[in-house]
Amino acid sequence: MTHNAQAPSRKPRRRGLIWPFVLLLILAVAWSIGWLWLRVQAERRMDATALALKAGGYEMSWKGRTFTGYPFRLDASFTEVRLAEPSGWALAAPALDAEAMIYGLDHWVLVAPRGVVLTRPIGGPVTISGQALRASLAGFKAYPPRISIEGANLTFIPGPGAAPFPLLSAEGLQLHLRPGPDDQAAILFRADNARASFSGLLGRIAQDKPASLLWDARLTKVSGLKSGSWADAVRGWSQAGGAITVQEGKLTAGDALLEARSGALTVGDDGRLQGKLDVTLKEAPKLSDIKTPEQALAALAAATGQDPSIRAGLVFQNGRTSLGPLDTGPSPRIY
């Protein structure tokens, strides 16, 4: 009798279990190479931008620069950063952190954890610091790009011998710039619960009271702002017919309110605003609190049973500002 020989047992093949791990390893290596390539490209573009700005009279410099954020972000940390333009405006930060996602390198978020120093060509330096100070830059293919600056619990301290800064402090601050159609741009500035040292009419209204400020406007012919220093850019923009169309302007300080709903402004050859805004000034102070001509007119109207509001044209002309028949001080300087 013969017995059938039992077939030898086979060990299961495990090659199929290894391939997913091999593919994962290849993907990780390729991703790492891609991240390193993006880092090198970012370094080169920053260096090239700094050289191009230097050739045009600008400055973009830093003392130290490091890149991190692997695997999904590209983070850049700078020390002793300085940006300056030919007419004297400059911005410096002892530390600056920038971040962008790998899949969205056209959108950067910047944070200045130790504040910044803003240098004015005439007024001198002012240190800006607070609980938070950050910016967002995006849409670099458009002009202007989308820019947002936000701050919380900010203080503004002029340097030794420097001129006063219009703001002393602000619980909240926002500045937004957006491109628009037909060579236009929108700009929005907002300061909440701020202490200010305004001059002229704004200073008379704000006095020592916490104030809130809103400025919403549209800029035309923004392509004229591209060349030269800030002063040259504004001059070129003005010569091209650029104007500021006010959508809404508002200053609130205590019971006082200055509101602008319409008007168009330009910049004169002296660098100061010119044009007219239709404004409403609402204020009804007690007789013992009257300190300004505007308060006197409002108090007189209230005492005679009339609406204590002044509706008039706020005119910027020949370097001066006037509210109706009242001269309220110099016109704001743009450069």
Global pTM reads: 0.85
333 token code pair: 């300087």
179 token code pair: 């491109």
250 & 319 share domain: yes
What pLDDT, on the 0 to 100 scale, is given for residue 56?
A: 87
223 & 152 share domain: no
For residue 324, what pLDDT band results from cuts at 50, 70 and 90? confident
90 & 127 share domain: yes
Residue where the block lists tokens 């400020």: 213
pLDDT in tens, 160-180: 999 999 999 999 999 999 999
Identify whether 10 is part of a domain: no
Domains contained in the chain, number:
2
200 & 288 share domain: yes
> Is the Cβ–Cβ distance between 120 and 156 less than 8 Å?
no
d(CA 330, CA 241): 23
259 token code pair: 């509101």
Percent of the chain at pLDDT above 70?
Answer: 87
Q: How many CB atoms lie within 10 A of CB 277?
A: 21
Q: Which domain holds residue 102?
A: 21-165
pLDDT in tens, 123-164: 999 999 999 999 999 999 999 999 999 999 999 999 999 999
Closest CA to 237 of 246, 250, 228, 247: 228
31 & 83 share domain: yes
Instruction: Please state the separation of Cα 254 from the chain's center in Å.
Output: 27
240 & 330 share domain: yes
159 & 104 share domain: yes
Residue type, 170: A
130 & 211 share domain: no
What pLDDT, on the 0 to 100 scale, is given for residue 53?
A: 92
